[in-house]
């Protein structure tokens, strides 16, 4: 039974058990399929609508990755500036806290009004949602330099830039990875919210259309595609963290 020690095998077993339990509940309860389709029917919807799902999933994936890249880049740059400049900390941190207090999802209709129904509004929604977690986690890591390393930088008379990039940044990478884990969890929800508010393509748009037509199996199929994207992102991040460690 050594093969049970492998995480992917355990994950597949858990998934299989959950799907079997789901199908059993559908069979035993007799719930109408327009309320809760079984996994067999959802699998059939995935197969029958593969081309349609792929077309909309590509649009969602591009917006998701672009928003992630923009949010991570902006968050990293902001955290570096905050760590380097006391003046930036004095001016920007209250603004960041206030901005986080405003629900970004409530801004989605405004962003759609300003940027249109295309990709730009979805990218900005994703960027805003993940910006604060990345900035906050990375900044906290940058500011928690151990005392021995801080003393070493002082003894070597390191400039602020050398101290930042040679000591603080390497020490803060685990904190940055923690922020990225939050980012890849929040980002798929953000892009779907953006597509629900206003879009003519994407998995969120497809879910709305399927809901209006009573195609619950297609809604679940689109949801599974989104979950697959999230798992791929999280797995890639975990792989990156494993390589670093």
- Taking alpha carbons only, the member of 162, 157, 178, 160 closest to residue 240 is 178
Distance separating the N- and C-terminal Cα atoms of the chain: 28
Q: Look up tokens 């949010």; give the residue.
A: 71
Question: Cβ atoms within 10 A of the Cβ of 147, count?
Answer: 7
* Per-residue pLDDT tens over the stretch 108-137: 888 888 998 889 999 999 999 999 999 999
Count of domains in the chain? Answer: 2
- pLDDT over 70 (residue 4): no
Task: Could you list the beta-strand ranges (E) of the chain.
Answer: none
Q: Which residues, 6 or more positions from 121, have their beta carbon under 8 angstroms from its beta carbon?
A: 108, 111, 112, 114, 115, 194, 197, 198
Alpha-carbon distance of 41 to 33, in angstroms, equals 9
pLDDT digits (tens, 9 = 90+) for 92-110: 877 777 777 777 778 888 8
Q: Which residue has the tokens 């999280």?
A: 234
Question: Are both 23 and 102 inside the same structural domain?
Answer: no
Residues 81 and 94 in one domain: yes
Burial bucket for residue 112 (CB in 10 Å: 0-12, 13-18, 19+): buried
Question: DSSP characters for 137-184?
Answer: HHHHHHH---HHHHHHHHHTT--HHHHIIIIIHHHHHHHHHHHHHHHH
* Residue 242: per-residue pLDDT: 62
Q: 119 with 173, same domain?
A: yes
Q: Tens of pLDDT along 176-203?
A: 999 999 999 899 989 999 999 888 899 9
pLDDT in tens, 53-89: 999 999 999 999 999 999 999 999 999 999 998 888 8
Q: Which domain holds residue 9?
A: 1-30
Confidence at residue 141, expressed as pLDDT on a 0 to 100 scale:
94
Say which CATH number the domain at 74 has: 1.10.3720.10
pLDDT at 12: 72
- Closest by CA position to 176, among listed 128, 150, 144: 144
Q: Check whether residue 65 and residue 21 sit in a common domain.
A: no
- pLDDT tens column, 139-151: 999 999 888 888 8
Q: Are 130 and 174 found together in one domain?
A: yes
**Judgement on whether residues 104 and 12 belong to the same structural domain of the protein:** no
pLDDT band of 1, cuts 50, 70, 90? low
């Amino acid at each position: 039974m050594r093969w049970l020690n492998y995480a992917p095998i355990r994950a597949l077993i858990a998934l299989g058990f959950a799907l079997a339990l789901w199908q059993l509940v559908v069979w035993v309860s007799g719930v109408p399929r327009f309320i809760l389709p079984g996994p067999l029917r959802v699998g059939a919807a995935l197969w029958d609508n593969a081309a349609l799902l792929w077309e909309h999933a590509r649009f969602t994936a591009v917006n998701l990755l672009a928003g992630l890249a923009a949010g991570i880049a902006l968050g990293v740059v902001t955290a570096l500036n905050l760590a380097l400049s006391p003046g930036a900390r004095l001016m920007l941190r209250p603004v960041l806290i206030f901005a986080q207090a405003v629900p970004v999802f409530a801004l989605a209709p405004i962003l759609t009004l300003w940027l249109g129904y295309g990709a730009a509004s979805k990218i900005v929604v994703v960027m805003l949602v993940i910006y604060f977690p990345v900035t906050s986690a990375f900044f906290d890591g940058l500011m928690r330099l151990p005392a021995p390393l801080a003393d070493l930088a002082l003894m070597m008379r390191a400039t602020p830039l050398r101290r930042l990039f040679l000591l603080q940044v390497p020490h803060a990478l685990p904190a940055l990875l923690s922020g990225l884990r939050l980012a890849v969890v929040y980002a798929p929800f953000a892009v779907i919210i953006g597509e629900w508010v206003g879009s003519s393509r994407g998995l969120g748009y497809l879910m709305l259309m399927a809901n209006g037509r009573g195609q619950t199996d297609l809604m679940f199929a689109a949801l599974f595609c989104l979950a697959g994207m999230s798992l791929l992102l999280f797995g890639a991040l975990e792989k990156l963290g494993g390589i670093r460690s």
